[in-house]
Chain A
Amino acid sequence: MLEVRKLAKSYRNGAQATPAIKELSFEVHERELICIVGPSGCGKTTLLKCVSGLLPASSGEVLLDGRPVTAPPEQMALVFQEYGRSLFPWMRVDQNVRFPLRRKRLPRRETDRLVAESLAAVGLFEFARHYPWQLSGGMQQRVAIARALAYQPQILVMDEPFASVDAQTRAELEDLLLGVWQRYPVTILFVTHDIDEAVYLGDRILVLTARPTVLAELVEVDLPRPRDQVETKALTEFAQLRARVYRAIRRD
């Protein structure tokens, strides 16, 4: 459903052009959960911005359902790493979730249902009337996920969404995401710098090199689902995959 073809991106810095992404091609299938890992400072965020239409590519193209992406597409939602700066602090939790739905002009009852359901899906139904800053970091990121779900995207793009929360919360959020992904008909593109997280969550892992970024390796993750924080991570295959991704990152 999502196709990235010979995507390249360099930043202009006066007369100089600094290449961030040299060339990347890959495909994401319907209902897939694909993880993107790479060394810090590689063009992960740049890639996401190009994929979501926030940044124009220097060359190559991004196709969503066969149509080139030039602006943020309607079927896409994005969850940022900085939950504190992506939620609107002057809106209550439910207003934050409802806000993007305004444009869709759904009947009032339908909007109410979407908001209530998505808040319930992330376990924040009772916190609807709170403000984001009254919640912990992990809860704020759950609000951002609920907002994305209520928007009913076909593809959910996540930019290191769990990088700023503590390890315990991170594990909870990973399982929450897997649960949500089972229930909602959504394709997920998940960027992380955490190899364990990528192996634990993904169907496939795109391993990127340092700048200028190309594809280092495409790893198939054939671990059984549903996955479990203890059992899955205890599997020999988990350790093997982890090692494989690690080596692919280290290679360059």
Chain B
Amino acid sequence: MRRARELGLQLVVPVVVLLAWGLWSARADNFFFPPLTDILASFRANWVFERVPTDVVPSLERMLAGYALAVVGGVALGVLIGSFRPVRWAADPPIEFLRAIPPPVLIPFAILAFGVGPQFKVFVIAIGCVWPVLLNTVDGVRGIDATLRDTARVYRIGALSRLFSVVLPAASPRIFAGMRTALSLALILMVISEMEASTNGIGFFVLQSQRSFAIPDMWSGILLLGLLGFVLNAGFVELERRLLRWHRAAQASALEAAA
């Protein structure tokens, strides 16, 4: 009953906004804000599922490739930096400098280095996404409880077991926090990279539509990106909820014991 009420209230705002937008845009006769029905028609024509193989799939492939590289690289480097203090001292200044560079400014360089193929986009996405993963992994590894570390030492846990069964699980709540930030960055960088030297992709489509004054098409692309971001984030939250169930439960039980 309460759940149903919650769901109902959560649906109220989107429904009201859509209705208001629909009613207003139908009469507005404004070139930049075409009737909502036109946008939805264009959405159906483009994205169900005409342009899915030609634009959506290439976009998502590049995004996921860049994101995956960032996660693997960020976690690997983060564990290394978090585990050894001298490495941390040496790595800190360059990291602080490199992460201050806005990733889109690397696009001209990336095109020179990788050509106009998908590689430069993957590169830009990976570079932009690596920092939150890296920094959170470092914090996660540094924050591992001393007793937990001593336990692993006393029982002479081997280096590989320690990495995969102690360090990574113990740091995983922080790693997931970084991955979640990186996921929204990946979507942003995917779009930006597709507005430069591209022949397909959702970002490219939105820009092309605007340039050819196909305003409902443009809006349909924006709508799709919003939906994609929403679905990706919801999926990630659900995955995190399942994988980190132990973390929330352990924290709750520790709080209970302290009370």
Give A contacts to B, CB under 8 Å.
49, 52, 54, 71-72, 74, 76-78, 80, 82, 84-86, 88-91, 99-100, 102-103, 131-134, 137, 147, 151
Chain A proximity mask over B160-174: 1 for CB below 8 Å, otherwise 0: 010001100110100
Count A/B pairs, Cβ under 8 Å.
77
Q: Say whether A85 contacts B153, CB under 8 Å.
A: no
Give B contacts to A, CB under 8 Å.
145, 147-148, 150-151, 153-158, 161, 165-166, 169-170, 172, 246-247, 249-250, 252-254, 257
Given contacts A54-B154, A99-B155, A133-B253, contact A90 B148 (CB under 8 A): no
Contacts of B250 in A (CB 8 A): 84, 89, 131-133
Q: Say whether A72 contacts B161, CB under 8 Å.
A: no
Partner of A137, one of B148, B249, B257: B257
Given contacts A88-B169, A102-B161, contact A82 B147 (CB under 8 A): yes
Contacts of B257 in A (CB 8 A): 84, 137
Contacts of A100 in B (CB 8 A): 155-157
Distance in angstroms from B161 CB to nearest chain A CB is 6
Contacts of A103 in B (CB 8 A): 155-158, 161
Given contacts A54-B154, A131-B249, contact A88 B166 (CB under 8 A): yes
Q: Which 7 A-B pairs have the closest CB atoms?
A: A100-B155, A89-B250, A133-B253, A85-B147, A133-B250, A78-B154, A90-B169
Given contacts A80-B151, A84-B257, contact A89 B247 (CB under 8 A): yes
Complex Cα–Cα for A52 and B154 (A): 7
Per DSSP, chain A at the interface is mixed
Contacts of B169 in A (CB 8 A): 88, 90
Q: Could you list 12 further interchain pairs (A-B, Cβ under 8 angstroms) beyond the known A88-B166, A133-B252?
A: A54-B153, A72-B153, A78-B150, A85-B148, A86-B150, A90-B172, A102-B161, A103-B156, A133-B249, A133-B253, A134-B249, A137-B257
Complex Cα–Cα for A88 and B150 (A): 12
Q: Which residue of A lies closest to B149 (CB)?
A: A54
Q: Would you give 9 A-B contacts (Cβ < 8 Å), ordered by A?
A: A72-B154, A86-B147, A86-B150, A88-B165, A88-B170, A89-B246, A99-B155, A103-B157, A137-B257
Contacts of A82 in B (CB 8 A): 147
Contacts of A131 in B (CB 8 A): 246, 249-250
Complex Cα–Cα for A71 and B158 (A): 14
Distance in angstroms from A11 CB to nearest chain B CB is 15
Distance in angstroms from B259 CB to nearest chain A CB is 12
Contacts of B156 in A (CB 8 A): 72, 74, 100, 103
Q: Say whether B150 contacts A80, CB under 8 Å.
A: yes
Distance in angstroms from A148 CB to nearest chain B CB is 9
Contacts of B247 in A (CB 8 A): 89-90
Complex Cα–Cα for A84 and B246 (A): 13
Contacts of B170 in A (CB 8 A): 88, 90
Complex Cα–Cα for A147 and B152 (A): 12
Contacts of A76 in B (CB 8 A): 154
Q: Say whether A80 contacts B147, CB under 8 Å.
A: yes
Complex Cα–Cα for A103 and B257 (A): 33
Contacts of A52 in B (CB 8 A): 154
Contacts of A89 in B (CB 8 A): 246-247, 249-250
Complex Cα–Cα for A2 and B169 (A): 35
Q: Say whether A151 contacts B147, CB under 8 Å.
A: no
Partner of B165, one of A78, A99, A147: A99
Distance in angstroms from A189 CB to nearest chain B CB is 13
Contacts of B165 in A (CB 8 A): 88, 91, 99
Q: Which residue of A lies closest to B244 (CB)?
A: A90
Complex Cα–Cα for A76 and B253 (A): 30
Q: Which residue of A lies closest to B145 (CB)?
A: A85
Q: Say whether B246 contacts A133, CB under 8 Å.
A: yes
Distance in angstroms from A152 CB to nearest chain B CB is 12
Distance in angstroms from B219 CB to nearest chain A CB is 45
Complex Cα–Cα for A129 and B32 (A): 61
Complex Cα–Cα for A82 and B156 (A): 19
